[in-house]
């Protein structure tokens, strides 16, 4: 997982990778021996495998109501 995070950081820092086509980015990731989940996410646009690799869990934010009870 650490390599995947590092690869994402490299992509974020390098404008040529950040704005590359999916094909070009996939080729660069294959040369860098990126994880299968990251490579598949770039190739297909489906990030579910990448989220699973990174341990992403959907968190629900509790509903909070705030009322001012002072003088009107």
Q: What is the pTM of this model?
A: 0.71
Q: Reply yes or no on whether the pLDDT at 60 is more than 90.
A: no
Mean pLDDT of 31-54: 92
CA distance 5 to 8: 5
Mean pLDDT of 28-42: 92
Collapsed DSSP state (helix, strand, coil) of residue 5: helix
User: 63: which DSSP letter?
Assistant: P
Distances (CA, A) of 26 to 23, 51, 63: 5, 18, 41
Mean pLDDT of 31-37: 92
Cβ atoms of 34 and 8 within 8 Å: the answer is no
């Amino acid at each position: 997982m650490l390599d995947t995070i590092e690869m994402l950081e490299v992509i974020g820092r390098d404008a040529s990778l950040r704005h590359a086509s999916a094909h070009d980015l996939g080729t660069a990731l294959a040369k860098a021996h990126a994880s299968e989940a990251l490579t598949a996410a770039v190739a297909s646009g489906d990030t579910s495998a990448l989220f699973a690799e990174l341990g992403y869990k959907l968190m629900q934010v509790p509903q909070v109501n705030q009322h001012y009870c002072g003088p009107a």
